[in-house]
Structure 1
Amino acid sequence: MPALTTSDTTLPTQIVDGIVEKAKTGSTIAALSSQEPMRFGDVTMVTFDDDLTAEFIEEGGAKSDDSAKPGSVVASPHKAVVNFRTSDEFLIADEEYQLGILDKFEEKCARALARGLDLGAYFRINPRTGNEITSWTNYLNATTNRVEITATSAADLDFEAGAGLVIGDGYAPTGVAFDPTYAWKLSTARYNDGRKKYPELGLGVDISSFEGVRASVSSTVSGKARDGDATDNKVRAIIGNYEQGIRWGVQRTFPFRMLEFGDPDNTGRDLAGHNEVLFRAEVIFAWHVFVDQFAVIEDKVA
């Protein structure tokens, strides 16, 4: 008997939970920093640009003012939507087939949401079009801390240079996101006698730490909406204070739905008229990036 037969169906909770959880663990941002609970809408966060200092007061002495003052930033909400059309024969298929389709959609949807979080917060890119959303003014790639890779660059020394820029601004680098090509370059770096410098990195496919800093690898670092895309923004690594320099959370998740009627993805193709159904998942992320706490390592942009 088919598992799903009704219109506009809310799919099982465990599938919704799986999408959100896999989106978190599949993102370099989520791998390197912790999300935090956020209410819906713009979230104002109190900040201190300078540390407070203690003061010793002699008996009868006067207390003085500290120049450090609180400020605030706003984490703004951004909705991510994933749609998938398939034949409405899905509705009369057996349960095994239906669950197979749902499992595959869960996997693909989780990956799309994960990549969306990275692309939005790093580059203000709309993953579907590859275009920048110019109305978003807060995104990591706006940082002025940049290291340019040259023909004679050593990957590990460029990494150190990026870390130095972050440290020079008074912050501790806690994480680094690598593009796969840069992770490969590090993992295959050799001494003059042929020995690998970093044999613990294997082939660089799944690096979890480098030089004592947590690491994550994804092609989103070079601006790709999908693995294998020709898009390349020349960014090869992003190093910085992921623990405090990026504040993000999932404000809301919407029911994972199946739609049978209308044109919900604005393709000009009515679902019923073309014997199709559409699956949809929506998540509202929110984030704020303190761009001066990060450095970008990049190839020379022509």
Structure 2
Amino acid sequence: MATTITKATLDPKMVSEMFTKVNGHSALAKLSAQKPIAFNGNEVMTFSLDGEAAIVGEGENKPAGSAVVAPVTITPIKFVYQHRVSDEFVRASDENAIPYLQAFTEGFAAKIARGLDIAALHGLNPATATTATSVSGKSFDTLVTQTVTYSAAAADDNIDDAVAAIQAEDGVINGIAMSTDFAAALSKIKANNVSQYPEFRFGANPATFSGIPSDVNTTIAFGSSKDKAIVGDFVNAFRWGYAASIPLEVIQYGDPDGLGDLKRMNQVVLRSEAYIGWGILDASSFCRIVAGS
């Protein structure tokens, strides 16, 4: 059994830098707004207002309006990441330990970024690619029911159709998350033998598509998901955040990750946990482009 010899908390500056890196790996983090969340969760009130504003003349009655007020609870979920380093780490001075911690936090940022996408988009446990009951009910694949059937030869038309579906629900579009094969399909679309979207050729990941913020990411089509792209209001209709306190454990003994005895291999394990929450505030503000059955 593993024995933890040191417990600490990652420096706030290091945590901030780490989640800045997450924006570069996660489609959701890149396209949406991050706000801090409380350790015991946040409740966000959403308002659905029907009808339009009315002009009321002198002496006229004010007409009744209707609205649906519903709370969306954003509860942090624990994500764990651990990594082996040389046992020189435990004997190093604080200055010499910094490179280990920097490498660890960079790896942590990459794993948490993918974890956020995989869990929030598909309701899956990133480590096993299987359904995680704790998050499946709050994922895009479960809540976003508006879909467009993917056609590689008409990927741009697929986006048009998705936009039309969202606008029909009075939604706005400010982001497109694409799988790598969807982006490749865009790069192959030609008119009069001229590539219409050359910015997507050779695996490129441009910041925008026709002026709309975009991201190309392998997390979009992760596992058995049929998603090829997701279009919608990522800025206003989706929210995510993290609890700022991130613990760090240094494990010197045992085999905590199944890769062999630490002492025999002259290694220690750095283990950390991040608490991340998210919520889809309005599912009708999104549309998924999915592969046909």
Q: How far apart are the structure 2 equivalents of 1:51 and 1:241?
A: 19
User: Cα deviation per residue 1:192-215 (whole Å; 9 max; x = unaligned)?
Assistant: x32111234453522211122110
- Structure-to-structure mapping, 1:86-97, within 5 angstroms: 86-92=85-91
Question: Which residue matches 1:68?
Answer: 67
Corresponding residue to 2:247 among 233, 244, 255: 255
Q: How far apart are the structure 1 equivalents of 2:91 and 2:72?
A: 51
Question: Which residue matches 2:291?
Answer: 299
Q: How far apart are the structure 1 equivalents of 2:180 and 2:70?
A: 38
Question: Which residue matches 1:49?
Answer: 48
- Structure-to-structure mapping, 1:105-254, within 5 angstroms: 105-136=104-135, 137-142=137-142, 143-150=144-151, 153-191=153-191, 193-223=192-222, 231-254=223-246
Change (3 A) 1:91 1:221: same
* Percent of aligned positions that are identical: 30
User: Cα deviation per residue 1:225-254 (whole Å; 9 max; x = unaligned)?
Assistant: xxxxxx452321111111111121113331
Aligned residues, how many? Answer: 286
Q: Counterpart of 2:48 in structure 1: which amino acid?
A: D
Q: Structure 1: which 5+ residue stretches go unaligned?
A: 1-5, 224-230
Q: Counterpart of 2:252 in structure 1: which amino acid?
A: E
Following superposition, the deviation at residue 84 of structure 1 comes to: 1.0
Structure 2 counterpart SS, 1:65: coil
Following superposition, the deviation at residue 163 of structure 1 comes to: 1.5
Are 2:252 and 2:268, in contact at CA under 8 Å, matched by a contact in 1?
A: yes
Q: How far apart are the structure 1 equivalents of 2:188 and 2:251?
A: 49
Question: Which residue matches 2:274?
Answer: 283
- Structure with greater proportional strand content: 2
Are 2:10 and 2:245, in contact at CA under 8 Å, matched by a contact in 1?
A: no
Q: Counterpart of 1:157 in structure 2: which amino acid?
A: D
Task: Tell me whether 106-115 or 67-76 shows the greater mean CA deviation.
Answer: 67-76
Q: How far apart are the structure 1 equivalents of 2:44 and 2:274?
A: 21
Are 1:23 and 1:114, in contact at CA under 8 Å, matched by a contact in 2?
A: yes
Question: Which residue matches 2:17?
Answer: 18
Q: Structure 2: which 5+ residue stretches go unaligned?
A: none
Task: Tell me whether 97-106 or 107-116 shows the greater mean CA deviation.
Answer: 97-106
Q: Counterpart of 2:219 in structure 1: which amino acid?
A: T
Are 1:175 and 1:242, in contact at CA under 8 Å, matched by a contact in 2?
A: yes
